Amino acid sequence: MDPLSQLAARAQERGGVRLYRKNVEKALTALRSTEDFWSFVDRADLPVPAAAAIVEVLREDGYLAVEEDRLRWTPAGLTWLETQNVPPYTSHLCPACEGRGIPFTADKDLYREFLRVSAGRPPAIQDFDQGSVTPETTVSRVLFLEQNGDLWGKDILVLGAEDDLTGLAIALTRKARRVLVLDIDARLVEFDNRAFRELGIDNAEARVFDLRNPLPDELLGAFDVFVSDPPETLASFRAFIGRGIAALREEGAVGYFGLTLRDASVYKWREFQRLLTGEFGVVITDILQNFNHYMNWDYHPYTRAAQIAPVAAPPRDIWYRSAWYRIEVLPGFVRWNEPIDDDVFYLDEEGTTT
């Protein structure tokens, strides 16, 4: 077995997340480009336990050292690295649109109003796996919906992801026909409803709802579009995305959601994709990597990610990103709406940020 495959096997045993040679190669590319653990996780596109395990194995071999919260290659490590043919880290991301293909400045009025209205938003809390995306992300989501014809005149359901205030941003456009936000967090529901009242937006409403429960009948088949951001467990995916699909009116209706590789592996992605195209009967039309940029959350020190990390310092910069999916339901799509009674709702062996 070649050295990188061996390293993958050892890190897999230690971290409990399946790894192959290419994962380690990408991790080494990342480690060549940054001394910051959290930037490393970001660029390696791996679940935190896998990234931490790779660092551990490299330390064990004397190739990497942790000094003052920085990851540093040792002289032996640098010599070894030279022999491994690891690609240099390269980023060609467009500065104008942060790589999304849609600049958030395309609707400056919306961007400004969202910044103003979202000031004073409730901080992300650990109980509900919260972590807000940047305002630039939220606005870009709305512009993406608009560009795809999924905003104007539409009935839109936002499911359990209102820590991003996407429902609020959609309502601010005054272009949707109806906006309904369901979130478990009463603070967010109150925040939204107050904003709707103060701004005189009367076609938008937020309600407290726990997505482990089935949607009420009146919401089934009542929407053109749903938007969500599920925790990356299979149970949560069903609860958020299955119910999102169940809320859609007819074929051609669409769903949007984020999925990350920080709290899930490509294996789980494939499971989700099979569920979508198979059982649920939908087609995937878009997967945009790193569309969603998450702001750091105050409760970071209390997460499993922080405990697993080989450094004590919290993230300095954005490190948690997710892909943005768009799906379209086809004739015969399935409205899954069963109750969920599952301990593994927010977290499984790959997830660590809750």
Which residues make up the interface to a second copy (CB under 8 A)? Answer: 18, 20-23, 25-26, 29, 85-88, 90-97, 99-103, 106-107, 143-144, 146-147, 149, 151-154, 250-253, 266-267, 269-270, 273-274, 277-278, 282-289, 323, 328, 330-331
Nearer to a second copy by C-beta: 76 or 96? 96
Residue 294's nearest CA partner among 6, 34, 41 is: 41
**Cα gap 112→13, rounded to integer Å:** 48
Nearer to a second copy by C-beta: 297 or 325? 325
Nearer to a second copy by C-beta: 209 or 237? 237
Nearer to a second copy by C-beta: 59 or 249? 249
Three-class secondary structure of residue 252 per DSSP:
coil
Nearer to a second copy by C-beta: 111 or 209? 111
**Cα gap 69→334, rounded to integer Å:** 49
Nearer to a second copy by C-beta: 23 or 303? 23
DSSP 192-242: HHHHHHHHT--SEEEEE--TTSPPPGGGTT-BSEEEE---SSHHHHIIIII
Nearer to a second copy by C-beta: 34 or 354? 34
CB of 30 to a second copy, least distance (A): 9
CB of 152 to a second copy, least distance (A): 4
Residues 6 or more apart whose CB falls under 8 angstroms from that of 339 comprise 212, 213, 214
- Any bridge partners for residue 321, and if so which? 293
CB of 272 to a second copy, least distance (A): 9
Q: Using CA atoms in the order 327, 259, 35, 136, what is the torsion angle rounded to 10 degrees?
A: 60
**Cα gap 251→78, rounded to integer Å:** 55
Nearer to a second copy by C-beta: 154 or 300? 154
CB of 314 to a second copy, least distance (A): 27
Residue 188's nearest CA partner among 170, 205, 213 is: 205
Q: HSE (CB half, 13 Å, CA atoms) of 170?
A: 34
Report which residue type is found at 51: A
Residue 294: C-alpha distances to residues 241, 291, 352 (Å): 20, 10, 15
CB of 271 to a second copy, least distance (A): 9
Nearer to a second copy by C-beta: 26 or 187? 26
Answer for the pair 134, 318: CB distance below 8 angstroms, yes or no. yes
CB of 327 to a second copy, least distance (A): 10
**Cα gap 306→177, rounded to integer Å:** 42
CB of 311 to a second copy, least distance (A): 24
Nearer to a second copy by C-beta: 259 or 347? 259
66, containing H or E segment? strand 64-67
**Cα gap 300→312, rounded to integer Å:** 11
Residue 140: C-alpha distances to residues 135, 137, 154 (Å): 8, 5, 18
| DSSP state for residue 352 in the 8-state scheme | -
* 134 CA to centre of own chain: 12
* 197 CA to centre of own chain: 30
CB of 340 to a second copy, least distance (A): 24
CB of 258 to a second copy, least distance (A): 14
CB of 144 to a second copy, least distance (A): 8
